[in-house]
Chain A
Amino acid sequence: MRFNDAVLGAVLLAFSITIGLWARSFPAIPGQEYGAAVFPTLVAVALGGCALLLILSGLRQGGGVLLFEGWARAPGGYVRILCTIALVIFYILAAKPLGFIPTMTVVLLFTLRMLKTGWLPAIAVALATAIVLQWSFGNFLQVPLPWGILSAWRF
Chain B
Amino acid sequence: MIGRRLFCSLAAGAVAAVFMPAAVALAEYPDRPITLIVPWGAGGGTDSTARIIGSILQKELGQPVNVVNRTGGSGVVGHSAIADADPDGYTLGIATVEIGMMHWQGLTELTYADYTPLTLMNEDPGAVQVSADAPWADLPALIEDIKANPGKYKASGTGQGGIWHLAIAGLLSKLGVDPSSVPWVPSNGAAPGLQDLVAGGVSIVPCSIPEARSLLSAGRVKSLAVMSEERNAAFPDIPTTKEAVGVSWTLGAWRGIVAPKGLPEAESAKLIAALQKVYDSEEYKSFMAKQGFGVRWASGQEFADFMKASDETLGEVMKEVGLAK
A residues with a Cβ closer than 8 A to B are: 29-32, 101-102, 120-121, 123-124, 127, 142, 144, 149-154
Contacts and interface: CB of A to CB of B under 8 A. Distances in A.
B66 A142 contact: yes
Q: Rank and list the top 10 A-B pairs by shortest CB-CB distance, nearest first.
A: A124-B3, A123-B3, A30-B322, A149-B17, A142-B66, A152-B20, A31-B180, A149-B14, A152-B17, A120-B3
B17 A30 contact: no
B17 A120 contact: no
Interface of B: 1-4, 6-7, 10, 13-14, 17-18, 20-21, 23-24, 32, 35, 66-68, 160, 180, 183-184, 321-323
A134 to B, nearest CB: 12
Contacts of B20: 152
A144 B13 CA distance: 21
B32 A31 contact: no
Give the dominant DSSP class at A's interface: helix
A81 B24 CA distance: 42
Give the dominant DSSP class at B's interface: helix
Contacts of A29: 160
A123 B7 contact: yes
Contacts, number: 52
13 contacts: A30-B321, A120-B4, A127-B10, A142-B66, A142-B67, A144-B35, A144-B66, A144-B68, A149-B14, A151-B17, A152-B24, A153-B17, A154-B32
A127 B3 contact: yes
A65 to B, nearest CB: 39
A151 B24 contact: yes
Given A30-B322, A123-B3, A150 B13 contact: yes
B180 A30 contact: yes
Given A32-B160, A123-B7, A142-B66, A153 B35 contact: no
Contacts of A151: 17, 21, 24, 32
